[in-house]
Amino acid sequence: MSYPFKEDVTIQFSHESLVKHINNRMESLPDSRLSGPNTRYEMSDAGLSAFSVFFMQSPSFLQQQRLMHKQRGINNVNTLFGTHKVPSDNQIRNLMDTVPPDHFYPIYRQIFSDLNQTGYFESFKVLDKQLLIAFDGTDYFSSKSIHCKCCSTKEQKNGDIHYSHTAVTPVILSPNQSQVIPLVPEFVTPQDGSNKQDCEIKASTRWVDRESDQFDHQEITVLGDDLYCHEPFCQHILGKNWNFIFVCKPTSHQTVYEHIEGLSTLGKVHHFKEKQWTGKETHDHHYRFLNDVPIKDGEGALSVNWCEITTTNESGDIIYKNSFATNHWLTKENVIDIITAGRARWKIENENNNTLKTKGYNLKHNFGHGKAMLSSTLATLNILSFLIHTVLEHFDERYRLVRQELGARKTFFDDIRALTRYICFDSWHHLLETMMEGLEIPIPTS
- pLDDT of residue 334 exceeding 90, the answer is yes
**What's the pLDDT score for residue 159?**
80
- Low-confidence winner among 188-197, 244-253, 325-334, 352-361 (lowest mean pLDDT): 188-197
Per-residue confidence band for 192, with pLDDT thresholds at 50, 70 and 90: confident
* Residue predicted with more confidence, 37 or 393: 393
**What's the pLDDT score for residue 155?**
84
**What's the pLDDT score for residue 3?**
40
Q: Mean of the pLDDT values across residues 174-197?
A: 89
* Local structure of 134: helix, strand or coil: strand
Question: What's the rounded Cα separation, in Å, for the pair 280 and 395?
Answer: 37
- Low-confidence winner among 189-193, 250-254, 259-263, 273-277 (lowest mean pLDDT): 189-193
Question: What's the rounded Cα separation, in Å, for the pair 94 and 87?
Answer: 10
Question: What's the rounded Cα separation, in Å, for the pair 81 and 42?
Answer: 14
Determine contact, residues 363/416, Cβ cutoff 8 Å.
Answer: no
* Local structure of 186: helix, strand or coil: strand
Determine contact, residues 359/146, Cβ cutoff 8 Å.
Answer: no
The half-sphere exposure of 14 on its side-chain side, counting CA atoms within 13 A, is 13
Neighbours of 433 (CB within 10 A): 17
**Amino acid residing at 193:** G
Question: What's the rounded Cα separation, in Å, for the pair 45 and 33?
Answer: 14
**What's the pLDDT score for residue 7?**
37
Digit-coded pLDDT (tens) for 280-326: 999 999 999 999 999 999 889 999 999 999 999 999 999 999 999 99
Q: What percent of the chain has pLDDT over 70?
A: 96
Phi/psi at 360 (nearest 5 deg)? 105, -20
Digit-coded pLDDT (tens) for 112-151: 999 999 899 999 999 999 999 999 999 999 999 999 989 9
* Local structure of 124: helix, strand or coil: helix
* Local structure of 127: helix, strand or coil: coil
pTM, full prediction: 0.93
Cα-Cα-Cα-Cα torsion 426, 379, 207, 97, nearest 10 degrees, comes to -100
Phi/psi at 222 (nearest 5 deg)? -95, 135
**What's the pLDDT score for residue 21?**
85
Q: What percent of the chain has pLDDT over 90?
A: 79
DSSP one-letter string for 210-277: HHGGGGTTSEEEEEE-GGG-SHHHHHHHHHTT-EEEEE--GGG-HHHHHHHHHHHHTT-SEEEEEEEE
Neighbours of 420 (CB within 10 A): 23
- pLDDT of residue 392 exceeding 80, the answer is yes
Digit-coded pLDDT (tens) for 343-388: 999 999 989 899 999 888 989 988 989 999 999 999 999 999 999 9
CA gyration radius for the chain?
Answer: 24
Phi/psi at 15 (nearest 5 deg)? -50, -50
Determine contact, residues 230/295, Cβ cutoff 8 Å.
Answer: yes
Kindly list the domain boundaries of the chain, sorted by start residue: 15-102+368-439
How far, in Å, are 322, 329, 337, 345 from residue 333 at the CA level?
Answer: 19, 11, 8, 21
**What's the pLDDT score for residue 2?**
37
Q: What is the mean pLDDT of the chain?
A: 92
Long-range CB contacts (within 8 A, 24+) of 301-307: 301/231, 301/255, 302/231, 302/234, 302/235, 304/234, 304/248, 304/256, 305/329, 305/330, 306/248, 306/256, 306/260, 306/330, 307/335, 307/338, 307/339
Per-residue confidence band for 20, with pLDDT thresholds at 50, 70 and 90: confident
